[in-house]
Structure 1
């Protein structure tokens, strides 16, 4: 479930930069991210508990995956043209679809492994997000490097589908964790800077859409980190 969103865009207006404005905007992003993760979790549990997961064939599973990718791309590239309500619906729809696909993936792992991966990923994600928010260092260079690393990671992952190398898969899991931790710090810093540059005075529509895009970016970072930790804690099992 790799993916990146389009660079966050916003309406910049002349305004006095305040720490409070940045804090409020960041809070909105993290609240929506948490809402998305909660929806994903609820849908995943309901899908598994209802037995619906047994009716999801391989073609349906890949269809859902492509639908998720399509939603992310549509939201990323069309967010400026759509209303805040539509953007919110697209994000929540993606979160729900992801819950269905995750219910299938999570069947491969024990409850203990899932819990360990979730809490480990949560701790690592929180630490890197805080680092991105408090550091004085400009993480733009590191972020660009991580994006290039992500592209290489995706290509290597596709190649390994055919090679089926357990050693390469193991190395890619560790590399993926490093990449998404770096992206988490960079994305958190970008969101903070957007909050500092006047978006809170750009109107409710712009604020909501900016918060949704920030939430989606952080959501993708966390989900990918969680899935990578699942593989590592289970001995590389897919």
Structure 2
């Protein structure tokens, strides 16, 4: 869901650069960010797998509908994938990201964390549809490839001495353009344009992974109170989570084996 990425990390407090490359506080803060992100990915995977198990069946007697590829849907499956309710699962995560981005300075850390978990769960329900298109083996394979690439890119963003601000601004402009092209292709349904979108999307979110990691590191300030530090960690985790999910989806276009 690349359209979600353009509204992330608008925390109400100013980012303050603090050179603490060997500071234990910074390390603990970054570990907290990665742990929150990993837990959110786990929630998404759990809800995606659970949803597709409940929404599909191998028993013709229990099937309420079937897809062109032969996949049989239960009554729940027809509601999630074939009714207007699917737009709720599609738009609700976007609404939560807006809420977190613009209200983060006025809500409690516990509320922000619960909103993050709700976002991850709803996105998992929405993403469960990839199991109807691609084989489970190719999805798992693409996930681990994405994890490897993400880890290397995030490590670069954390360790590099180069200022990535200019690159981040360029990538954001590219992201806005990519979203517009994606909207156009919803009507054109051009395979060639979709190929270009996926290729550019991988590059954009690869770059954003490094940029966001550096930005999250620079937002650390050892004088922050516990509540502020926790909210910064949650918003940082959200930013990296979105980078990972979008890079995964674009890579799946190239690496996924269709059912």
TM-score normalised according to structure 1 size: 0.91
- SS of structure 1 residue aligned to 2:84: helix
Q: Distance in 2 between matches of 1:45 and 1:63?
A: 19
How far does residue 58 in structure 1 lie from its aligned partner after superposition? 3.9
Any residues of structure 2 matched to 1:1-238 within 5 Å, and which?
1-2=1-2, 3-4=4-5, 5-10=8-13, 17=20, 19-51=23-55, 52-56=76-80, 57-195=82-220, 198=221, 200-234=222-256
Deviation at 1:201, TM superposition (A): 2.8
Which blocks of at least 5 consecutive residues in structure 2 are unaligned? 56-75
Which of the pair has the greater relative contact order for Cα pairs under 8 Å at 6+ separation?
A: 1
Moved runs in structure 1, 4+ residues, more than 2 A?
A: 6-19, 50-55
Give structure 1 stretches of 5+ with no counterpart: none
Equivalent residue of 1:201, what SS? Answer: coil
In 2, the alpha carbon distance for the partners of 1:15 and 1:177 equals 30
Between 1:76-85 and 1:21-30, the stretch displaced more is 21-30
- Separation in 2 of the partners of 1:101 and 1:14? 37
The 3 A distance-change label for structure 1 pair 54 and 156 is: same
Residues 58, 179 of structure 1: alpha-carbon distance in 2 compared, 3 angstrom cutoff = farther
Q: Determine the C-alpha separation between the residues in 2 that align with 1:125 and 1:174.
A: 16
Distance in 2 (CA, whole Å) between partners of 1:141 and 1:14 is 16
Inter-CA distance 47–13: structure 2 relative to 1 (3 Å threshold): closer
- CA separation in 1, counterparts of 2:23 and 2:37? 21
Question: Cα RMSD (Å) of the superposition?
Answer: 2.1
Larger radius of gyration: 2
TM-score by length of 2: 0.84
Pair 40,60 (structure 1): closer, same or farther in 2 beyond 3 Å:
same
Cα distance in 2 between the residues matched to 1:142 and 1:106: 34
